[in-house]
Structure 1
Amino acid sequence: MYPGWFSKRSLQILIYLSLILIVLLLLQQLRPVLSAIFSIIKGAFLPFIVSIIIAYLLNPLVNILHQKGFSRLTAVLFIYIVSILGIVLLFIQYIPDFIVQLKEFAEQVPELMKSLENGINTYYQNRDIFPESVQFGIEASLYRVEEGITESISNFLSYLGNSLPKIMAFIVVPFVVFYMLKDLQVLENFIITLFPKKYRREMLKLFRNIDEALGNYVRGQITVCVVVGVLSYIGYRIIDIKYPLLLALLVAITNIIPYLGPIIGAAPALFIAATVSPVMIIKVLVVNIIVQQLEGNVISPQIIGKKLHLHPLSIIFVLLLGGQIAGLFGLIFAVPILAVGKVVTQHVVSYYMQKKE
């Protein structure tokens, strides 16, 4: 037994904080090694990460059909057929409109660049009306924007040059997902047999708790991105900006990146708005601010926050740490890793507390 002031909850918090400190010290020492390893394996493992995400989205449906009496093979085949039909219907319904907007945007890129160039030339023709400090700030900002655009184009062209092997790697995704869904129980049983018999029940419980936490995060994050995309599309249609479907899709995709995602997603809309009028820029800002406020204060807390039971400060901390260690990928995977770490910590503490009692 423990003194009255030292409760089970206090011990959990103490161990949790100690483990975080130990992990931080280890990561700080191993950062060069981890960065090198991550750069090597991320290309090979990315298709498997995508497969795991898709499997988490589809597994609840497979379980429901399996409980109804279907074999897992039949359930998986049924879901594949329905998913393919659904994707085909979405393509028929929305892809023509998307292609038209993408084509129009590509055709108007020269005009947009010309409008931007005219705006810059107008500034330089009238630069003397600004104080010298303001001139310096504006010109420094323009230089950074130009440098950023040049770097982005260079990176994009480089990515296109190396994209064929990556595309080929993603061909395996449907097959990996199929076997993950069909043989999930077999894989689970195999992993459990690797542990001594006296620990198998606890390990099975741990794996299922981790599975639940990751499943909640993946399904919740996808749902949030879809809702944000729909709200952005509605907002862009209301303010009548060009290419609303294309711009809303960019917002939905980039929303998966914490903090930076909303900025990246709003940038193309702001660029187009800048070629229309200052009023359109304000309208685009208002739409994105409203959507992000709803996402941060209503949508994400309701869909993700309540399921993972993670404190906002811990999320901010691991996002900063993940960004430092692995950049963009660190930002994306920091929260699910934290969720898994919390489950493991709680499980270990609970197990040893029960043994002592």
Structure 2
Amino acid sequence: MSIRSVLFIGLGLLMLYLMFTVGLPFLLALIIAIFLEPLNGLLMNRFKMNRLAASTISSSLFTLGFLGLIVLIGIKIVAELIAFLDRVPKYFADGNDFVDKLMVDGRSLYQSLPPDAVATIEDFLVSLTQYIQQLIGTLSKTLLAFATGLPNMFIFFIVFLVAVFMFSYSLNTLKASVLSLFVESSRPQVDQVLVNLRKSIFGFLRSQFILSALTYIISFAGLLILDIKYPMAIAFLIIIVDILPILGTGSVLVPWGSYLIITGDLFTGFGLIVLFLVITVFRRIIEPKILGDAVGIGALPALISLYVGFKLVGVIGVFLGPLVVIIYTAARQAGLFQKRIQL
């Protein structure tokens, strides 16, 4: 592989990383614009509209539907989420007080044990107290970051909605501009790559939506069975955390369940642990299969791309890793990267 090819691939990976970070609203807007393109074509062909009018109507319908969905579902979830997060610090504070009381009450019970055993028990209890205090501090910082990030979220969605209209209006010229960067003989292959890429990306997004929806249903049903308050908000938090590969939900359900077991609520505590195991096993079994079928790559490459992407660049890599595999697969299907190793 030539140095030029290596630089080209490196530049492409850098652009993908930037699109998933600072360029995320524009990337999402481009995906929505591609999704709305059939509607634009219908309006232009059936009703003889120009592209500006068709794009205005399709973008307006998407905006109204998006905002309506937020009003119908988001307000309920946000209300439960605020109420739940308002009570979480109290839960951790009660847990801290419980551990302190346990240390005082239990000291008389284990003082008769050998000195090494007493030191081990006290070190464990001190570590447990410090862990709870760290959780309280982390939670407070998270709530503060969420509150301070609301203006940025508002700006994000405004830019996203405006970009949806702009991409929808200029999508055909944008594609022509991209094709003009290549020589005439290479344009059919590039166009085929774009077609395959569009199918694979929409399949990837569809698979993620299906996985998140199934995880939400399982979480919501489990929380209802356990008679836990704010099930919609907590299930929403679970699917966000579950984006992280390998035991992602454990950071929510395991400490919570362990605390309830220690404080005597055995049914709910063990129920949360079981719910964590069910979600984890379900995700690990079904995720590679759904992802592989949706984007046209095997279950093993899908799993490897998820894990490697996460290890290299964090949560963004969960999406970036499979996308790199998708792009490579689309390029090979279009006739690129067909060279074989010759010994």
Q: Give the structure 1 partner of residue 22 of structure 2.
A: 44
Secondary structure at 2:292 match in 1: helix
Contact 2:25 2:157 in 1 (8 A): yes
Task: Identify unmatched segments of 5+ residues in structure 1.
Answer: 1-17
Equivalent residue in structure 2 for 1:122, among 82, 101, 108:
101
CA–CA distance in structure 2, aligned partners of residues 337 and 331 of structure 1: 11
| Aligned-pair CA distance for 1:43 | 5.5
Residue of structure 2 equivalent to 1:250: 237
State the shift of 1:280 in Å.
0.4
Amino acid at match of 2:22: A
Return the alpha-carbon distance in structure 2 between the equivalents of residues 92 and 158 of structure 1.
Answer: 23
Match of 2:315 among 328, 334, 340: 328
* CA deviation after TM superposition for structure 1 residue 248, in Å: 1.0
Tell me by how many angstroms 1:291 deviates: 3.3
Contact 1:247 1:268 in 2 (8 A): no
- Whole-angstrom distance in 2 between the partners of 1:273 and 1:243: 17
Q: Is residue 62 from structure 1 mapped to residue 49 from structure 2 by the alignment? A: no
> What is the deviation of 1:214?
1.4
Relative contact order (C-alpha < 8 Å, sep 6+): which is higher? 1
Contact 1:217–1:304 (Cα < 8 Å) also in 2: yes
CA shift in 2, pair 1:328/1:350, >3 Å: closer
The root-mean-square deviation of aligned C-alpha atoms, in Å, is: 4.0
The offset of 1:244, in angstroms, is 0.2
- Alpha-carbon separation, structure 2, partners of 1:75 and 1:223: 30
Q: Alpha carbons of 1:244 and 1:185: their partners in 2 closer, same or farther (altered >3 Å)?
A: same
Deviation string, structure 1 residues 310-354 (Cα, Å, up to 9, x no partner) = 34443444344323432222233212222212322454457668x
By how many angstroms is 1:307 displaced?
2.3
Name stretches of at least 5 consecutive residues in structure 2 with no aligned partner.
none
Find the aligned partners of 1:272 and 1:148 in 2 and give their Cα distance: 12
Q: In structure 2, what residue type is equivalent to 1:207?
A: L
Tell me the SS of whatever aligns to 1:206.
Answer: helix
Correspondence list, 1:207-246, <5 A? 207-246=194-233
2:295–2:326 CA contact under 8 A, matched in 1: yes
Identity percentage of aligned residues: 20
Q: Is the CA contact 1:320–1:331 (under 8 Å) kept in the aligned structure 2?
A: yes
TM-score, scaled to structure 2:
0.74
What is the aligned counterpart of 1:290 among 278, 296, 301? 278
CA contact (8 A) 1:47 1:172 kept: yes
- Code of the residue aligned with 1:44 in structure 2: it is V
Equivalent position SS for 1:258: coil
Instruction: Judge conservation of contact 1:233–1:244 (CA < 8 Å) in 2.
Output: yes
Query: What is the alpha-carbon distance in structure 1 between the residues aligned to residue 169 and residue 247 of structure 2?
Result: 37
Q: CA deviation at 1:168?
A: 2.5
TM-score with structure 1 length normalisation?
A: 0.71
Separation (CA, whole Å) in 1 of partners of 2:318 and 2:305: 8
1:143 to 2:124 alignment: no
Deviation at 1:59, TM superposition (A): 3.7
Q: 1:276–1:335: structure 2 CA closer, same or farther, 3 Å change rule?
A: farther
- 1:1-357 aligned at under 5 Å gives the runs 44-55=22-33, 58-59=35-36, 62=39, 65=42, 69=46, 76-87=55-66, 89-91=68-70, 93-95=72-74, 97-98=76-77, 100-109=79-88, 111-125=90-104, 126=106, 129=110, 131=117, 132-133=119-120, 135-137=122-124, 139-151=126-138, 153-154=140-141, 157=144, 160-161=147-148, 164-165=151-152, 167-259=154-246, 261-264=248-251, 266=253, 270=257, 273=260, 277-298=265-286, 300-301=287-288, 303-349=290-336
Provide, for residues 106-163 of structure 1, a one-character-per-residue CA deviation record: whole Å limited to 9, x for no partner: 5534542342123212331225649454554454354345335424533653565466
Q: Decide whether aligned partners of structure 1 residues 169 and 100 sit closer, same or farther in structure 2, where only a CA change above 3 A counts.
A: closer
- Matched pairs, number: 322
Superposition deviation, residue 240 in structure 1: 1.0
The CA distance in 2 between the partners of 1:346 and 1:82, in whole Å, is 35
